[in-house]
Amino acid sequence: MAFFNGKKRRKIKASSKSRIQEIRSPYSHRKLLFRKRLPKKAGKATRYSGELKFSYRKGFPLKKWALIVGLPILTIFIIYTTIFSNFFQTEKWRIYGDDIVQENSKFDEFLRVYKNKNLVFIDSGKIERTIKAQYPEIETIKIKKVFPDTLVMEYKNYDETANIFNIVGDTQKKFIINEIGLLVEQDYENPNLPYIKVKTEKALELNEYGLPKETLEYILDAVYDYEELFGMKIIDAEYWKREKEIHLKTERDFTIWLDTNLTLQEQFSKLKDAIPKLNIYTENLEYIDLRISSINGERVIFKSR
């Protein structure tokens, strides 16, 4: 053609360097056009489903910068708040005894010592050990920290189990004894608890042990077992320490003599077997002696009025 001086028009094939390839950007959902020449930041090229995909090295994440900068600041803030500020200063305390709030409690003095002190560094275990050592009637105790400024004491006493009448010569003192044998109240009696008479040469005192725990358990078992087995109420139980005997006074005004060296089952079984011949519900008795052992274990001594 004239326009090309008689030369035929040729199609120029694009070089591989200028060829346009379509790839997907890792940072957008749109399709972008890039020349085949790889950017300097481009990583290794891989082929997938006929298209070129490139992985790029990402910049330093913002979250990591936040951690590097923020963590030291947070640590300094926590240390300052915990140690140097008054935020955790102990201002008040509460005391619960057997799940009841105790107002003007005798334990206030132990907790008042820690007023205005840092609650974080208070040794709860030390307080528990100190109170438990001074008040053995406490069965369990727990000191809790209620942040930011409160101490809470929760405790439970051993159960009260009996009334004790301590007889010394012609005098008598009344106590309440708990389950471990400790005298916890004086000049007071609870009619819902069994009565135990104890004769001693020296008067018993409050907050001392009136009876060994094993002896107290034996006496209480004797009272409750007799009432359950024979359907007869026990008015009181008298403990003879030197003779190692227990005398149960029944509502029919006779006593049952027991030996603490023998089991209750052994002695009450003898009485139960003797009932067909000895009617304890109608007979006018003064006492029944179950202490005497025999080969067949059936010997029961009694005295009528």
> Which of 17-36 are b and which e, b meaning 16 or more Cβ less than 10 Å from the residue's Cβ?
eeeeeeeeeeeeeeeeeeee
Q: Can you tell me the distance from the alpha carbon of 96 to that of 151, in angstroms, rounded to the nearest whole number?
A: 11
Q: Which residue has the tokens 């009448």?
A: 165
- Phi then psi for residue 289, to 5 deg, are -105, 115
Strand 100-101 and strand 92-97: the pairing is antiparallel
Residue 185: both structure tokens together: 């109240």
End-to-end CA distance of the chain: 159
Q: Write the single-letter amino acid at 218.
A: Y
> CB neighbours of 270 closer than 8 A, spacing ≥ 6?
290, 297, 298, 299, 300
Does the CA dihedral 112-116-118-121 come out positive or negative? negative
Domains of the chain and any CATH numbers:
92-157 (3.10.20.310), 160-304 (3.40.50)
Give the closest residue to 289 by CA, choosing from 305, 276, 270, 275.
270
Q: Can you tell me the distance from the alpha carbon of 250 to that of 233, in angstroms, rounded to the nearest whole number?
A: 6
> CB neighbours of 50 closer than 8 A, spacing ≥ 6?
none
Q: Would you tell me the crossing angle of helices 264-274 and 213-230 to the nearest 10 degrees?
A: 20
Residue 159: both structure tokens together: 């159960």
Per-residue pLDDT of the chain (305 residues; tens, 9 = 90+): 444 445 445 554 545 444 444 445 454 444 444 444 555 554 454 444 455 554 545 555 767 777 777 777 777 776 656 666 687 899 999 999 977 888 888 899 999 999 999 999 999 999 999 999 999 999 999 999 999 999 999 999 999 999 999 999 999 999 999 999 999 999 999 999 999 999 999 999 999 999 999 999 999 999 999 999 999 999 999 999 999 999 999 999 999 999 999 999 999 999 999 999 999 999 999 999 999 876 555 678 999 99
